[in-house]
């Protein structure tokens, strides 16, 4: 599958079967994330795989949605605040950007492997820090990952045309 086909197939899966993600698939997703580019090659990410029943129950408190609870595992993507590159001109830290690139590598790799994923950023950050303390790190996104349920809703991609997004100078 080429990149355009992969981009067309990837969608925000919001319903999963109870089938576990294989260790080889999980390792593949994490290796794809590890190889993602980052500003000045700082690699300011940390990935916490949440798969025990106890940890999943805690994580489901920070984002309490019925569909979210169907995922067999979650990857919480963190930015290491002390390792992020910061642009000198305006002090813009690039940790969120770097982690976002790695997270999307996970999502695309999941699609390639026939798995579903979904970006979740609308969680309770204070509760996340309390329930999953990781010093010098900030959670950026939660990625539920799993086998897509046959009746999972899938919206058609509604994207703006390139003419509205691209300026050629």
**Which of 144, 137, 129 minimizes the C-alpha distance to 72?**
144
Residue 155: is its pLDDT beyond 90?
no
Round the average pLDDT of the chain to a whole number and report it: 97
Domains of the chain, by residue range, sit at 3-151
- CATH number for 3-151: choose from 3.40.109.10, 1.10.8.60, 2.40.30.130, 3.10.50.40: 3.40.109.10
pLDDT digits (tens, 9 = 90+) for 101-121: 999 999 999 999 999 999 999
Quick one: pLDDT at residue 145? 98
For residue 127, CA distances in Å to 17, 103, 109, 132 come to 27, 21, 29, 8
Does residue 156 register a pLDDT over 90?
no
* 46 pLDDT higher than 90: yes
Average pLDDT of span 23-49: 98
| Predicted confidence (pLDDT) at residue 1 exceeds the cutoff of 90 | no
Distance, in Å, from the CA atom of 75 to the CA atom of 51, rounded to the nearest integer, reads 9
Mean pLDDT within 129-156: 96
Contact 159, 4 (CB under 8 A): no
Residue from 161, 71, 56 nearest 116 by CA: 71
């Amino acid at each position: 599958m080429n990149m355009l086909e992969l981009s067309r197939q990837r969608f925000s899966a919001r319903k999963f079967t109870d089938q576990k993600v294989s260790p080889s698939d999980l390792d593949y997703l994490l290796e794809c994330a590890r190889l993602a580019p980052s500003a000045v090659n700082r690699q300011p990410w940390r990935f916490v795989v949440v798969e025990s029943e106890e940890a999943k129950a805690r994580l489901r408190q920070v984002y309490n949605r019925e569909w979210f609870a169907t995922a067999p595992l979650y990857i919480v993507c963190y930015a290491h605040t002390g390792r992020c590159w910061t642009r000198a001109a305006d002090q813009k830290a690039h940790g969120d950007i770097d982690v976002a690139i790695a997270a999307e590598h996970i999502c695309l790799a999941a699609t390639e492997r026939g798995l579903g994923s979904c970006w979740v950023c609308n969680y309770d950050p204070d509760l996340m820090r309390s329930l999953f303390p990781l010093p010098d790190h900030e959670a950026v996104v939660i990625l539920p990952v799993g086998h897509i349920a046959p009746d999972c809703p899938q919206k058609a991609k509604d994207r703006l045309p390139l003419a509205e997004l691209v300026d050629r100078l």
